[in-house]
Each structure stands twice: as structure tokens, then as C-alpha cells.
Amino acid sequence: MSSHEAAPDPEASRAAEAERLLGLPEAALTGIPGLYALTAERVPRSRLVGLQALLAFAVVHNALLHPPVGWGTFLAVAAAAELYAVAGFFVLKRYFARTRRVHLGTVFLTADLAVFSLVVYATGAHASWLWPIYLIRVADQMWIGRRRAAWMALAGVAFFLGVMLWVGLVEGQPVEWGGVLLKLSVLGAMGAYLVMISGLPWDLQGRTQAA
């Protein structure tokens, strides 16, 4: 390899290998990072279905636990989540292959954490039992590589902390900060564990091929 050639990106290589193993069609255009079919077709559909399940759990949560959140606030959050999921479906389908400066798939995966935060807020914020939802985003990225999983783990902790700071400092709600710190610690520790074991199949495959 000459000094002018760029070193191969291990994360991109893992993504390409994952695409091959999953039997997905190759990217429609060369040079677009990530899994095209997965990002532009399957993930948006899964997002639509997953948000319906999350909102259903949120309805049951509020009906049983009666957090200090009005149903008007909850319905507004639910409407925003539905609009986001539908918009994401059409934006990724139409523009993912055309946008090269920004990986729209990663943008929407990160934006999902904001939607999770709205649902946590609408189910009581610090009183919500749905706070572990952030770990889903770490888990579904860990098979691609540690870098993506680590980003989602850090972003999830940051978004949850942002919700707590909003309700505690901006809205002035009484927040049990000891409990918040414990939840942040659990999110961080579980996220770190998922990051640590992410990419292990690829590491094993690399060692096997090198043997």
C-alpha cells in the first residue's frame, strides 16, 4: 500500500461483511457508508413498529403508575413521535442515497434517543420506569462495531441526564437526585458492558482468518 492510499476503515469493513452475511443487497451507490438496504428500508419500518410498542407500554405505564404527567402532554409527545417516525421513513427512503456529507441513518438513530427522552418525560421523567429504553440503541449497534455502540451509550446517558436537568432545574420539579445518579450509573455501566462485548464476533473472525 502506498503512503497516499487511505487505510481501510475497520468499521466499514465490518458493515460490509455484515451486509454479506445478512444476505442484503449491496449499496445502491458506491461510497455510501453503512448498510444501505438496512438503513433505508428495514430500520425505518422497524422504527414505526417499535415506536408503536413503546407508546403502548407508555400508556400502560401511566395508567398503572399515575405519574405526575397529564394525558394532554402524553398525547402531544405521542403525536410528535408518530410524526417523527413517518417523516423518518420517507426522508431515509428518498434522500439516504443522495446525501453523502452526512450519514442520515446515523442521524436518525441518534435522533431516536431524543424521542426516547420525550417518552421518558411523558411517563414521569425521574419517576418513569422506562429509563432503560436507551440501552436498546446500544444493543442494536453493537454488532456493527464498538465505535458506534460507544457513541450510542454516551449519547443515551447524555439525553437521560438532559431530561433530568430539564425537569429539575427548568421546570422546578422535585427530583430525587440520588435515584437519578443511580440510574445514570446503571445506564453507563450496562452501556459500557455492551460496548466491551460489541464487535467480538468480528474480532474472532479476524483471528480465525489470520490463523
For residue 131, count other CB atoms closer than 10 A to its CB. Answer: 24
**Cell numbers linked to 102:** 452526512
- Write out pLDDT tens, residues 53-77: 999 999 999 999 999 899 999 999 9
**pLDDT tens for residues 125-139?**
999 999 999 999 999
Express as a percent the part of the chain with pLDDT over 70: 74
Separation CA 210–CA 207 (nearest Å): 5
pLDDT in tens, 5-53: 556 555 555 555 555 544 444 444 444 444 566 677 788 888 999 999 9
pTM for the complete prediction? Answer: 0.78
- How many angstroms separate the CA atoms of 109 and 128, rounded? 22
pLDDT in the model for residue 175: 94
| 8 A C-beta contact, residue 77 and residue 129 | no
What is the per-residue pLDDT for 102? Answer: 77
pLDDT value for 25: 44
The predicted pLDDT at position 10 comes to 58
